[in-house]
Structure 1
Amino acid sequence: MPRCRVVLAEDHAPMAAVLRALLGEVFDVVAEVADGEALLAHSTALAPDAIVCDIGLPRLSGLDAAERLLARDAHACIVLVTIDVDPSCVNRALAIGVRGYVAKPDAGEELVPAVLAALARRVYLSSSVRPAPPSRHP
């Protein structure tokens, strides 16, 4: 069975190496780019099964790039991996149709499960951004 093809967008080289290694255990990383404009170009040209991108990309943010990609193809499989755990950012990402949102500190354990969930058309939020369960008071 062929492995799923992933485009990775991360502008910080050491973090890109970590993410590439994590993804490479399960997927074929077919391109690695360092800015949002390149992400748009490579995603269009390569038609990957999934896109993993940082939000804080130069030239065009990962969130804006994701929004443009999803406007072209509402079924695009996009997982954001970011240091930004602000609920308003998470909510915006979900509102535009992103399927995964992984905090970078959680990536070691949760990036691959997030991409697998996204490929199965499920939404995945890493543990650092999931809403806290309601507390129960007697």
Structure 2
Amino acid sequence: MAIRVLLVDDHRILRDALRLALAREEGIEVVAEAGTAAEALDSAAALRPDVVVLDIGLPDLSGLEVAARLRRLPQPPQVVALSAQTDKRFVSEMLRSGAQAYVTKSSAAEQLVRAVRAVAAGSSYLCPEVADALVSEVRALGGDAPRLGRREHEVLRLLAGGARSAEIAEKLHISPATVDVHRRNIMRKLDLHSVAELTRYAVREGIVAP
């Protein structure tokens, strides 16, 4: 079944380019477009898309508020935030508001496709440009992360990169069950409760590779 996408951006030319990029991908269907927050919320409620690609800078309502309202729908979609900003504050606020991915408008269309596929599969995603900016800022601040084992760091890094248990198992030559054990141990040690929280932690602590 195709991943059903609602594309939200107030710039028609950019929206057309993104729609064409997504439409070329097998297994992805753009079911509607919107140029305002009101249109986006109405379309999301009526069409129940799997993923909403959401511009942060809409003319009638902040993307932060739109993301929060999308979370309150009976069948909330996954949200990919789309922005020209790489500032840590914007990224953190969008993730707290409910976005599972963050992609800059300057990123290649390939990054948007990766983000859509990742969130549709239940993972999180940060485009390399954003990850680089956050990691650089975190490293400049310094600080020590709670101690994780070597294998736990490897599993956390791959999880934060959007990989699923089967993919991690194949890369690390371990069983998917072992991956799940590592994930549970990581969550217990860090007192985190979702892959999205693990991703935010990995970026904050510089575990995600630049």
TM-score between both structures, scaled by the size of structure 1: 0.89
Q: CA RMSD in A?
A: 1.8
Whether 2:111 is the aligned partner of 1:96: answer no
Alignment deviations for residues 63-107 of structure 1 (CA, whole Å, 9 cap, x no partner) = 211111113358520101110211111001111221110011114
Q: How many residues align?
A: 134
Q: Which has the larger share of helix?
A: 2
Per the TM alignment, residue 127 of structure 1 is displaced from its structure 2 partner at its CA by 1.0
Per the TM alignment, residue 108 of structure 1 is displaced from its structure 2 partner at its CA by 1.9
One-letter amino acid of the structure 1 residue matched with residue 128 of structure 2 = S
Contact 1:56 1:82 in 2 (8 A): yes
Alignment deviations for residues 39-80 of structure 1 (CA, whole Å, 9 cap, x no partner) = 000000000111101111111122211111113358520101
Contact 1:74 1:97 in 2 (8 A): no
- Counterpart CA distance in 2 for 1:34 and 1:75 is 20
Structure 1 equivalent of residue 135 of structure 2? 132
Whether 2:111 is the aligned partner of 1:110: answer yes
Indicate the larger mover: 91-100 or 38-47: 91-100
Contact 2:65 2:97 in 1 (8 A): no
- Counterpart CA distance in 2 for 1:10 and 1:22 is 15
Contact 2:9 2:36 in 1 (8 A): yes
Per the TM alignment, residue 28 of structure 1 is displaced from its structure 2 partner at its CA by 1.0
Q: Which runs of 4+ in 1 moved over 4 A?
A: none
Contact 2:54 2:81 in 1 (8 A): yes
How do 1:1-138 and structure 2 match up within 5 A? 2-26=1-25, 27-72=28-73, 76-130=77-131, 131-132=134-135, 134=139
Indicate the structure (1 or 2) with the bigger Cα radius of gyration: 2
Contact 2:45 2:73 in 1 (8 A): no
Indicate the larger mover: 68-77 or 23-32: 68-77
Contact 1:102 1:126 in 2 (8 A): yes
TM-score between both structures, scaled by the size of structure 2: 0.60
Q: Which has the larger share of strand?
A: 1
Larger RCO, structures 1/2 (Cα 8 Å, 6+ apart): 1
Structure 2: gaps of 5 or more residues = 141-210
- Counterpart CA distance in 2 for 1:109 and 1:42 is 25
Contact 2:100 2:123 in 1 (8 A): yes
Secondary structure of residue in 1 paired with 2:99: coil
